[in-house]
A and B are shown apart, each in its own frame.
Chain A
Amino acid sequence: DAGVIQSPRHEVTEMGQEVTLRCKPISGHDYLFWYRQTMMRGLELLIYFNNNVPIDDSGMPEDRFSAKMPNASFSTLKIQPSEPRDSAVYFCASTLAGGPFKLFNEQFFGPGTRLTVL
């Protein structure tokens, strides 16, 4: 398996522009997570989906951020309009929920997208 795929790997944009980050989870995984990592705030969960349905978006910073998962193999995180304080590394992760014995599996992380907003 190719693992979790994220694109682009690097994005540089100007303040006010729309930014779309993309994620392809591992095939068969039923949970998908979006994280943001900054020096100041560490690693924060933004939102996660189960079977394409958003479960918890309490970490989404504000209305400028939105996330969608139109199908099991694709998700997007959109920032509109972008601001310099949105500069961070954005990670997507996926997992397959536990089986009959409720063994909760690890999250597999993508390589991240480094976003710079000028």
Chain B
Amino acid sequence: AQTVTQSQPEMSVQEAETVTLSCTYDTSENNYYLFWYKQPPSRQMILVIRQEAYKQQNATENRFSVNFQKAAKSFSLKISDSQLGDTAMYFCAFMKPRSNAGGTSYGKLTFGQGTILTVHP
């Protein structure tokens, strides 16, 4: 079974600064997907960024980027120019595509424990 570990229960950062959230995972699979989700106080889960394991290039989405180290099974999230609206709980998630007779299909997401990020003005 896959496991996802976020070792930082809480982080804080000053507005406009950069912060990095850590995530490690354990799997024997070679083909998989990694995601970072944001959960603000409203409790809505919002996708921040996605990384396909077969891609060596790190994914970026505006102020959000990842450092994907496949050999080390590490998937950290960097938030640049932090904004007050970034305050939320952040979840790292792993998805192994499911194999069936028809080929590969969507598998289930395994989430880390979450990191609460607070951005201070």
Chain A residues with a Cβ under 8 A of chain B = 31, 33, 42-45, 48, 50, 55-56, 89, 91, 93, 95, 97-98, 102-104, 106-107, 109, 111-112
Measured between beta carbons, the chain A residues less than 8 angstroms from B114 are 42-43
Minimum distance in angstroms from A98 CB to a CB of chain B: 7
Chain B residues with a Cβ under 8 A of chain A = 33, 35, 42-47, 50, 52, 91, 95, 97-98, 104-106, 108-114
Q: Are A107 and B109 in contact (CB under 8 A)?
A: yes
Measured between beta carbons, the chain B residues less than 8 angstroms from A104 are 33, 95, 97, 106
Measured between beta carbons, the chain A residues less than 8 angstroms from B44 are 109, 111-112
Interface on chain A toward B: helix, strand, loop, or mixed SS? strand
CA distance A50 to B45 in the complex (A): 21
Q: Are B45 and A109 in contact (CB under 8 A)?
A: yes
Which residue from chain A places its CB closest to the CB of B98 in the assembled complex? A55
Which residue from chain A places its CB closest to the CB of B103 in the assembled complex? A102
Measured between beta carbons, the chain A residues less than 8 angstroms from B113 are 42
Q: Are A106 and B50 in contact (CB under 8 A)?
A: yes
